[in-house]
Structure 1
Amino acid sequence: MEIAVWRSIYRFLLRRPRVPAGAVGFTYHQPVLPLLIGFLVASAIELVAVDLLVQQWPLVRIPLLVVGIWGLLWMLGLLLGYLTRPHAVGPAGIRVRDGAEIDIAVPWEAVESVAQVSDAGKPAKVADTADGRVLSLWMQQATNVEVVLAYPVRVRLPQEVETVDVLCFHADEAEDFMSAVRQHI
């Protein structure tokens, strides 16, 4: 995750979002943007406040500055992970992402159906349901796009590899996402 945070900063500075050739990117960060900006602002204020409080003790000040700057850059990289790795719809299929941690490529032959839904209160990332194993990549505990797979697909998550039958996720502009899907299905 540490490396991914630094890569996100690098990608943002060079204006190189990870969107496959010929594909269209779709953001999904709007529900968490105010929260992440709040954390960034709080981290910046904390950095300055702690520096002012310990400026007379260099042996304490310097390590606290290093840790404070690292924390601020880490939070920035987390936010930029959402901005530089959008969901994508293109000729090869759908790419579903969650920041720098999750990147799932679903080829069109593996897609049975795609629907705009309104699901709230997802209990877990991976759950067994009547429709099979569902991976929910929710934002603020809600998803608005559901991809039913034609066959089970193995996905790599940060802690494990899972086999899922349905992908649920959030797209900021779900209607535009669906329009792009219709062009390829």
Structure 2
Amino acid sequence: MSVTKERRAAASAPRRIWQMLRRALDVELRIYASIGRFVARRPAVPRGAFGFSYHRPVFTVLMIFIVLSAVEIPIIDLVVHRWPVVRIAMLVLGLWGVTWMFGLLCAYLMRPITVGPDGIRVRQGLELDVHLTWDDIASVARRKQVDEPKSPRIVEADGARTLALRMQDETDLVIALERPTVVRLPGHAPKGGDQEITAVRLWVDDPKGFLDEVRRYL
């Protein structure tokens, strides 16, 4: 039995590596796609829907990281300028880091949470995009909650499974679902992949405006 398990693990290892590489490539492509949307001023909002931002709690932190990453480039270049190979490698790495951080910020700006005729699209950063139709949704309510740092994304309590999409450990809205609903999260089990949930907690910068828009459909 143990030999069979070892063989299965060995066989699945290349597949896991391939999935990780493919995910990394997808994230990289989304970085540049987000920058493109930012330059073109075309946020990813479906026709007839309204977008709501959720970046306010992390905006300052991201800007600090971007500025610090940009400042590091000439400083490191000054230190390693005597070694051309190292200098070029550090320059490429530094520019890539700044581009990545800027692309992440653009993803927050250009991939808003949306409310529209087809339901609610709950988004966060580069990868997460959960579509909930109005038939899936029982209610939407304003409820601010602060969790402990590094709390799990899926919270299980009293038979319920809640997807908690926090910004700086906070959420300010809760979406209760009509029935247990399977959604796909970035990554693989147990934290990602297909997950059955009964509610979603999320952060929106304008919860009042979000609820006003929801009332048009629910």
TM-score band by shorter chain is over 0.9
Higher-RCO chain (CA-CA 8 Å, sequence separation at least 6): 1
Higher helix proportion (structure 1 or 2): 2
Deviation at 1:131, TM superposition (A): 6.0
Q: Is 1:102 the equivalent of 2:128?
A: yes
Q: Is 1:128 the equivalent of 2:138?
A: no
Higher strand proportion (structure 1 or 2): 1
Q: Is 1:49 the equivalent of 2:82?
A: no
Which one-letter code corresponds to 1:110 in the other structure?
D
Query: 1:1-185, aligned counterparts within 5 Å?
Result: 1-121=27-147, 123-130=151-158, 132-159=160-187, 160-185=193-218
The C-alpha deviation readout for 1:104-152, integer Å capped at 9, x for no partner, is 1100011000000011115210011126110000000010010000012
Distance, in Å, in 2 between the alignment partners of 1:163 and 1:170 is 20
The C-alpha deviation readout for 1:49-69, integer Å capped at 9, x for no partner, is 101222232111111100100
Q: Identity percentage over the alignment?
A: 42
Gaps of 5+ in 2: 1-26, 188-192
TM-score (norm: length of structure 1): 0.97
The C-alpha deviation readout for 1:89-108, integer Å capped at 9, x for no partner, is 01111110001210011000
Conserved 8 A contact 1:40-1:72: yes
Gaps of 5+ in 1: none
User: 1:181–1:131: structure 2 CA closer, same or farther, 3 Å change rule?
Assistant: farther
Distance, in Å, in 1 between the alignment partners of 2:144 and 2:43 is 28
Question: After TM superposition, which residue ranges in structure 1, 4 or more long, deviate above 4 angstroms?
Answer: none
TM-score (norm: length of structure 2): 0.82
Distance, in Å, in 1 between the alignment partners of 2:97 and 2:53 is 25
Deviation at 1:72, TM superposition (A): 0.5
Q: Secondary structure at the match of 2:74?
A: helix
Distance, in Å, in 1 between the alignment partners of 2:34 and 2:136 is 29
Conserved 8 A contact 1:26-1:88: yes
Which one-letter code corresponds to 2:163 in the other structure?
L
Distance, in Å, in 2 between the alignment partners of 1:47 and 1:163 is 44
Which segment is superposed worse, 83-92 or 150-159?
150-159
Q: Which has the larger radius of gyration?
A: 2
